[in-house]
A and B are shown apart, each in its own frame.
Chain A
Amino acid sequence: MAAHDATHHGHGHDHSHAHGEAYAVHVPTRVYYWNFAALMVLLVITLFAAYFDLGEWNLFIAMTIAVIKALLIVLFFMHLAYSTRLVRVFAGAALFWLIIMFVLTLGDYFARQAPSMPGH
């Protein structure tokens, strides 16, 4: 490819100091406090739901609450809600790949009979 030597160094070399601050995410602390409060409430709900025997629904409810908690932590404590699109793509990609692994492997197991319990 054709390339010219630039007479300037790459962008940014003439910037003055200490301007990392300009890029830091400034989240008001009340967001953190409310987030924590929400997480506490969800923890109580998890325990409350576990108290009742709802059969298969227990797992579903517990996982739903866990997912919400995880989302709250990721979005607000880990600043994903304030991050660039590229960072969100990276975070989403990881989740997507995890799902692939689960879906395809579990698919195999669901499609065949579970190995019989030994001794029965």
Chain B
Amino acid sequence: MSTTTAETQGLPDPMGIDLQPEIPREHYINTDYSWKSWLFTLDHKRIAILYLVSVTVMFFIGGFGAMIVRLNLLSPHGAIVSPQTYNRMFSMHGVVMVFFFLVPVIPAVLGNFLIPMMLGAKDLAFPQINLLSWYFYIVGALIGTTALTFGGVDTGWTFYAPLSTQFAYGNVAWTIVGAFLAGFSSILTGLNFIITTHRMRAPGLTWFRLPLFVWAHYAASLLQVLATPVLAITLLALLVERLFGVGIFDPKLGGDPVLMQHMFWFYSHPAVYIMILPGMGVISEIITCFSRKPIFGYKFVAFSSLAIAVISFVVWGHHMYMTSQSAFASIVFSFLTFLVAIPSAIKVFNWTATLYKGSIRLETPMLYCLGFIGLFTIGGMTGLHCAALATDLHLHDTYFIIAHFHYIMVGGQVLAFMAGLHFWWPKMTGRMYSEGWGRTAAVLLFIGFNLTFFPQFILGYEGMPRRYPTYAPEFQVLNVMSTAGASILAIAYALPFFYLIWSLKNGPIAGPNPWRATGLEWQTQSPPTTFNFDRIPVVVAGPYMYSPEADEILDAQMAVEVAQLELQRTKAVIAQHHAENEEAGRGV
């Protein structure tokens, strides 16, 4: 634990708040600074940091693609790049963001770091597999981004056959290899989480005492383990077809291109829930802490994570209404898609009910959190427009779809990641960031995001197709608005990058629990030691035991500690004076 805590000064410090925090003498970062100790680490926290650095790089690469896309769309005739380059840019944006950023970001960064700690364990069940997952990821990401940069693909991230197998220029095969390897990373991470959650919980930590963060990751891990292999075989089939010129999906050779879409979306729909479920887990943790209230309807939120996971497996056909998919299948898929909205809505209602009559504090994580709830709701509701057969007829392949999923992926997922990053930053680094800059960035992100993507709903509704480098002139105003918003968004992404890194050396020291949060991870020092806990904790109550009474007690205790510290300081000053006077007296 820390060297100078209220505890060591003989003062009570039940929440580990630590009035005079110092960076602990030994923690998981300073045990060894050599590059070997990082690249061959088995510590889940170090692996999480490795992932954090990697996904950040990927995010900026994918963001670059988006920047080119939006700049090009400033003019109806395509402002800056040729159509072929434009195709490569949006494909790069999609592939990098989906496979190398969105899927791993919250599970591999926050999940890896926190789940063992939230369970009271020393590490995940399979630390070597954890490291292997990072290596799969980094090799896949390197191959994929290299292929996308030198040559590129113009198929979009969806690689539909026969374009991808027969007619596409560029590095389809290598990009597919990159995505394939990244998929293994995802599978291994999910496998690790499932088994750790089943079998490595601390004594007393029953399933219904688990933080909802763990439930959400458990559900997402089920998807990672069961859906990703189908992507693997789909990508392999695409590779075989492209490299050997055979016709699994080629109609001329008796194949069915829609089969490729079935297999692709069988993974890729659950994939979007792999992305959003962990984000929802983050929101549950933060909203309780910053409302000082337990979650409303814990079991409903927990089971809705599982329900989303299960139902998400049987809705993939809603991406294929406009193919030769049978009307019967389309109806079934549409109905099931409406069903999957229900557990998501339950979560939103429960979060809102958690806020009700809470003692709300609007620190940075909470700002992102509230933004999430609003933007996710809009994204989710527009999902219903997409799910309905009659409306999708008009909306498919327009900007409405793009706006819908960006509201979920950026307005939801990215905001949730930002929220979680800021919330657990003190735990991961031992430092607090600048709250002023944090709030500024959060507000800028919200404004920039809405300015970027709300016009796209209108554009899509009015018929502007997606993946086109040019458009009809009447759409220009909204496109310019969208690009302007994207510039603000870019600033809002860049700001945390700078002030978070700056805080590593210059931020105020955080202490074990600056947010006064419940949860086992807050019972350790910040940053934690390599093995997290000196002694395995025993859990005696459920999560989120926030209450006004508990906070009053904390306030009172804090006042006592402050007073006692003042007393000690005053005594020290007096002692100092005495010593000086004696010296002076002797000198005379």
8 tightest Cβ-Cβ pairs between the two chains A and B = A112-B326, A108-B329, A111-B326, A111-B328, A10-B536, A3-B537, A2-B541, A6-B538
Residues of A within 8 A of B539 (CB): 1-3
Q: Smallest CB-CB separation from A2: which chain B residue? A: B541
Bitwise, A7-32 to B at CB < 8 A (1) or not (0) is 10111000000000000000000000
Residues of A within 8 A of B314 (CB): 100, 104
A97 touches B226 (CB 8 A): yes
B536 touches A6 (CB 8 A): yes
Residues of B within 8 A of A10 (CB): 202-203, 536
Residues of B within 8 A of A1 (CB): 209, 518-520, 539-545
A5 touches B203 (CB 8 A): no
Q: By CB atoms of chain A within 10 A, which of B226, B230, B254, B542 has the most? A: B226
Complex CA distance for A1 and B570, rounded to whole angstroms: 37
Bitwise, B515-540 to A at CB < 8 A (1) or not (0) is 00011100100000000001111111
B226 touches A11 (CB 8 A): no
Q: Smallest CB-CB separation from A10: which chain B residue? A: B536
Complex CA distance for A104 and B314, rounded to whole angstroms: 7
A108 touches B523 (CB 8 A): no
B385 on the interface (CB 8 Å rule)?
no
A41 on the interface (CB 8 Å rule)?
no
Complex CA distance for A105 and B541, rounded to whole angstroms: 45
Complex CA distance for A2 and B546, rounded to whole angstroms: 11
In A78-110, the 8 Å CB interface with B consists of 86, 93-94, 97, 100-101, 104-105, 107-109
Interface of B is mostly: loop
B254 touches A2 (CB 8 A): no
* A interface residues, Cβ below 8 angstroms from B: 1-7, 9-11, 86, 93-94, 97, 100-101, 104-105, 107-109, 111-112, 115, 117-118
* B interface residues, Cβ below 8 angstroms from A: 120, 198, 202-204, 209, 226, 230, 251-252, 254, 256, 262, 266, 313-314, 317, 324-329, 332, 518-520, 523, 534-545
Q: Which of B252, B329, B518 contacts A107 (CB 8 A)?
A: B329
Residues of A within 8 A of B226 (CB): 93-94, 97
Complex CA distance for A63 and B327, rounded to whole angstroms: 31
**A-B CB pair tally, cutoff 8 Å:** 85
Complex CA distance for A3 and B198, rounded to whole angstroms: 20
Cβ of B500 to closest chain A Cβ, rounded Å: 28
10 contacts between A and B (CB under 8 A): A1-B543, A1-B545, A2-B518, A3-B202, A3-B520, A3-B537, A97-B313, A104-B314, A104-B317, A115-B256
B262 touches A108 (CB 8 A): yes
Residues of A within 8 A of B545 (CB): 1-2
Q: Smallest CB-CB separation from B227: which chain A residue? A: A97
Complex CA distance for A3 and B540, rounded to whole angstroms: 6
Complex CA distance for A118 and B254, rounded to whole angstroms: 7
Cβ of A45 to closest chain B Cβ, rounded Å: 31
B254 touches A9 (CB 8 A): no
A11 touches B326 (CB 8 A): no
Cβ of B150 to closest chain A Cβ, rounded Å: 36
Residues of A within 8 A of B519 (CB): 1
Q: A117-B254, A118-B254 are in contact. Are A3 and B538 (CB under 8 A)?
A: yes
Residues of B within 8 A of A7 (CB): 535
Q: Smallest CB-CB separation from A117: which chain B residue? A: B254
Q: Smallest CB-CB separation from A108: which chain B residue? A: B329
B541 touches A101 (CB 8 A): no
Residues of A within 8 A of B230 (CB): 101
Q: Smallest CB-CB separation from B533: which chain A residue? A: A5
Residues of B within 8 A of A107 (CB): 328-329, 332
- Having A1-B209, A3-B520, one finds 14 other A-B pairs with CB under 8 Å, namely A1-B519, A1-B539, A3-B202, A3-B538, A4-B538, A10-B203, A94-B226, A97-B226, A104-B329, A104-B332, A107-B332, A108-B325, A111-B328, A112-B324
Cβ of A10 to closest chain B Cβ, rounded Å: 4
B538 touches A108 (CB 8 A): no
Q: Smallest CB-CB separation from A5: which chain B residue? A: B535
Complex CA distance for A107 and B204, rounded to whole angstroms: 46
Residues of A within 8 A of B534 (CB): 5
Cβ of B194 to closest chain A Cβ, rounded Å: 9
